[in-house]
Amino acid sequence: MDVSLPSRDALKAQAKRLRAGLAANGHQITHSQALEAVAHQWGARDWNTLCAMAKNTPQPTYRPGQAVSGRYLGHPFTGLVKAANARGRDYWGLTLRFDAPVDVVKSAHFSALRQQITCVIDASGCSAQKTSDGTPHVVLHDHWSAA
């Protein structure tokens, strides 16, 4: 199983939690020992190696109730995140509830309204699924805030 590394800030926070957890159980370690332990947990030789492997870019985060806007099948929408699940470092599974139904049919003869969708998006806010012209099914605008 390939697991992407979290950001350096997240790794530092992991070391801080490790140190605090051990201290709560009567085991004192230094901060540098905690950093080295985290590096070994992630399969790196040492902290400096892990740091070089990790990125320090903030990753998107989503939560139920968060307002979102974007385009679904080329149609603009606003709505709320109904459910959100992190899928590794770079992907999110989302259920989005639109404020107003989106008509996904281009024909003037009938309509197909969507009020809620489920999608998987990447860190840029785009779905991997694309229409025949190469446009992502879902594109979120101003789609994230740092954790």
**37-56 pLDDT per residue, tens:** 999 988 899 999 888 888 66
User: 53-81, pLDDT tens digit by residue?
Assistant: 886 655 667 889 999 999 999 899 999 99
Provide DSSP, 24-53: HTT----HHHHHHHHHHHTT-SSHHHHHHH
How far is it, in rounded angstroms, from Cα 97 to Cα 118? 9
pLDDT, residue 93, reads 92
Q: Average the pLDDT over 7-25 and give the result.
A: 86
pTM above 0.75?
no
Mean pLDDT of the chain: 85
